[in-house]
Structure 1
Amino acid sequence: MTATRQRPFRRLLSTTVCLVGATAMVAGCTSNSPEESSSSGDGGSSNAASSNDDSGDTVTIGFSAPAADHGWMAGITNAAKAAAEEYDDVDLQVAEGTNDVSTQISQVETFINDGVDAIVLLPFDGAALTPVALKAMDAGIPVINVDRQFDSPFAARSTVLGDNYGMGVSAGTYICSQLSDTPNAVVAEIAGIDSLPLTQERSQGFADALGDCGLKVSNRVAAEFTVESGEEAASNLLQAAPKIDAIWNHDDDQGVGVLAAINNAGRDEFIMVGGAGSANAMRSIQADDSVLKATVIYPSTQAADGVKMARLLAQDKAMSDLVEVEIPKQIVLNAPVVTKDNVDQYIDSAFES
């Protein structure tokens, strides 16, 4: 983060305009028939001949991600498989999900030895997987890095990321809009694992957005992205804070436990905003049957976008909605707020907690 930061409300607006629905952008860029071009540059000139979705040379893509022991992570793998199934020219080789770094390194080495055309990799540990990703790149196999970045810019051809800071900004901006008539509002935060940079980024964005409307976090606890930890952390929070006006919970998986604790305590004087965008959270928002009134998306479609980008790279194509003839080096997906008013736009692509 630079010393001079944009005001959160302005930052959120620019994020929405510039990065809106990068998932949709990738899907659109692989389905639009581009205008004819006289350009003879390589790396994307083939787009002028036909739609990027037209069947081409079969490409083999290796995919590796951590174990699906969390709803969001399961959603990542399921979405990647679904994206590959859209194409008859994609052979997706899916390695078994693992939280063992050595096993994941071995999986990537197998992809390299098999000579796959591209690798989509969500590393359990970005630093630990950097050397083998570099090895793949040195072998001429483009790597699409998903969610957790490598230590070297040379370890990936392209990176697809969610916006953790933006999640906090979105959550804080929404709460500001709901509490505009409550200047001394008590705002609470149930974070994820505090030692993780992603949690720190989410909390910073939240604090910055609240500060823009004169609010601050009055009570904060941390959980561990699990149902059990969410229930425990929320119980502690509710005991410590007899009055609350709004809560932001960073993660909808741990939010199952958070809502259980809230129901057990019989508390309903506040609104709650979730995080990540699970289907069960959206169904609750849709039904308006709890304190949960919104959730902020952290897309579980990142690897699906990675698969589509890997296909384009392997077939020497680019994103046909862009003038640029190369696949972007990095895409940061938007972090929109889902409410009862717009939930129908997002629920079909949501993951199950």
Structure 2
Amino acid sequence: MPETSRRGLLFGTAAVSAGALLTACTSNEPKKQPAADNQPAAPDDKPGKKVTIGFAGPQADHGWLNAINENAKSRAEKYSEVTLEITEGSNDTAAQIGQVQTLINKKVDVLVILPADGKALTQVGLQAMKAGIPVINLDRIFASPQAYRCWIGGDNYGMGLNAGNYIGEQLKDKKNAKVVELAGLDNLELTKQRSQGFADALKNYPNVKRVARQAADFTVESGQAKMAQLLQAQKQFDALWNHDDDQGVGALRAIQQAGRDDFLMVGGAGAKAAMDAIKADNSVLKATVLYPPTMAASAIDLARALGQGKGVGGMSELEIPASITLYSAVVTKDNVDEYLPTGFS
């Protein structure tokens, strides 16, 4: 899958938990992040002045990307004073630039943009800001901080780190434990960050060694094919980390076809199918590390606050933050019921 159809470069600088948007949460284990359809409105849910938010999102060619669009729509519907001007999702940079320029010409109050390509859309972000329309840059970051008022997105390094620490804790008492990694597209910065976080976490567990790594491309078909290769090459290992729950569907098929159940599997992103399997506890899949699409709902909250000249509930500052990096929680059978509402199809 091309880079423009996936989550792009992430260089968030302020590691603020998603919980900070709604509560002053300082715990290392943030509270659950409800799905859009189940989200309570933010603490300041009394209608304020009318705000028109322009939303330019991605083409929904992946479960996570579809969830981004749905979270944005559902969140906006919770506010009677918010009008959402939404474009047709696109992975074509020229088309999306045109869509954003149309929203600028309509003089929307705030823009929320998940760019098909952050670098390519930087100029149109700058154009909006210069026109006095503040921009919430969602997930794939623009090349210049002048192109947005606030960036909000996921933590790819944190995904790998938390996956590695979870696996390390499960295997810490096992001598010469072996793990394998089913990564995403290697030409994406996000894949490199996830793998680096995973490698750094395993350094804390000298008895655990990564013995194999295979890159897939975030599809069911690639997950099945690449996992079959790993299984053939590695006759024995103790744990698998799969970067993406969509390709994890294929990986699980390959595992079942091979009749293997001698290791534990950790997924990534937080798909509903993965959470259902974790809850059922009838496969090797025991956990998934979140990359929450609820960030789109939070982006709408931030845009509303900007349009109404407000800060963020639970924070003392008069202004919204400049950058928010969401926490990558590990979902297991012990907490899956809390996170199931956030699972995406």
TM, length-normalised to structure 1: 0.87
The residue that corresponds to 2:285 in the other structure is 292
**Partner residue in 2 for 1:34:** none
Alignment partner of 1:25 is 2:20: yes
Q: How does 1:183-332 map to 2 (within 5 A)?
A: 183-214=175-206, 215-332=208-325
Could you tell me which amino acid in structure 1 is paired with residue 84 of structure 2?
L
CA shift for structure 1 position 183: 2.9
Would the aligned equivalents of 2:245 and 2:269 in 1 still touch at CA under 8 Å? yes
What is the deviation of 1:303?
A: 1.4
Distance 1:84 1:28 in 2: 20
8 A contact 2:54–2:84 mirrored in 1: yes
Name the structure 1 match of 2:48. 56
Q: Deviations over 1:189-225 (max 9, x none)?
A: 0000001000000000000001111123211000001
Q: Provide the residue aligned with 1:341 in structure 2.
A: 334
1:106 aligns with 2:93: no
Q: How does 1:69-88 map to 2 (within 5 A)?
A: 69-88=61-80
On the 8 A contact 2:184/2:216 being kept in 1, the answer is yes
Q: Distance in 2 between matches of 1:193 and 1:141?
A: 34
Residues 110-141 of structure 1 deviation map (CA, whole Å, 9 limit, x = unaligned): 01000000010011100000000000000000
Matched to 2:51, the amino acid is: V
SS in structure 2 of the partner of residue 338 of structure 1: strand
1:142 paired residue number: 134
Partner residue of 2:120? Answer: 128
CA RMSD of the aligned region, Å? 1.3
Is the contact between residue 125 and residue 148 of structure 1 (CA under 8 Å) also seen in structure 2?
A: yes
Residue of structure 2 in register with 1:5 after alignment: none
Unaligned runs of 5+ in 2: 1-13, 25-42
Alignment-mate amino acid for residue 235 of structure 1: A
Whether the 8 Å contact between 1:166 and 1:205 is mirrored in structure 2 is: yes
Pairing 1:172–2:164 present? yes
CA apart distance, 1:94: 1.2
**Which residue identity does 1:148 align to in structure 2?**
R
Q: Which one has a bigger Cα radius of gyration?
A: 1
Code of the residue aligned with 1:277 in structure 2: it is G
* 3-state SS, counterpart of residue 127 of structure 1: coil
Pair 1:157-2:153 in alignment:
no
CA contact (8 A) 1:295 1:337 kept: yes
| Superposition deviation, residue 28 in structure 1 | 4.3
Shift of 1:250: 0.2
**Matched-pair identity in %:** 55
- 1:78, CA displacement in angstroms? 0.5
Instruction: Give the whole-Å Cα distance in 1 for the aligned partners of 2:338 and 2:68.
Output: 19
Q: Could you tell me whether the CA contact under 8 Å between 1:255 and 1:274 is conserved in 2?
A: yes
Instruction: Give the distance between the partners of 2:199 and 2:313, measured in 1 at CA.
Output: 38
**1:278 maps to amino acid:** A
Task: Determine helix, strand or coil for the equivalent of 1:128.
Answer: coil
Contact 1:190 1:249 in 2 (8 A): yes
Give distance in 2, aligned partners of 1:255 and 1:320: 36
1:27 Cα offset (Å): 3.5
Asked if 1 retains the 8 angstrom alpha-carbon contact of 2:22 and 2:312, the reply is no
1:346 is paired with a residue whose SS is helix
Counterparts of 1:340 and 1:320 in 2: how far apart (Å)? 31
Q: 2:21–2:313: 8 Å Cα contact kept in structure 1?
A: no
| Structure 1 alignment gaps of length 5 or more | 1-14, 30-50
Task: Measure how far apart 1:26 and its partner are.
Answer: 2.0
For 2:120, what is the secondary structure of its paired residue? Answer: helix
Q: After superposition, what is the alpha-carbon deviation per residue over 1:147-186, rounded to whole angstroms, capped at 9, x for unaligned?
A: 1111001000000010000000000000001001113111
Number of corresponding residues: 313
Q: Distance in 2 between matches of 1:280 and 1:117?
A: 37
Decide whether the 8 Å contact of 1:66 with 1:124 is kept in 2.
yes
Q: Match for residue 181 of structure 1?
A: 173
Contact 1:207/1:216, CA 8 A, preserved across alignment: no
| CA-CA distance at 1:319 after TM superposition | 1.1
For residues 222 and 283 of structure 1, the distance between their equivalents in structure 2, rounded to whole angstroms, comes to 25
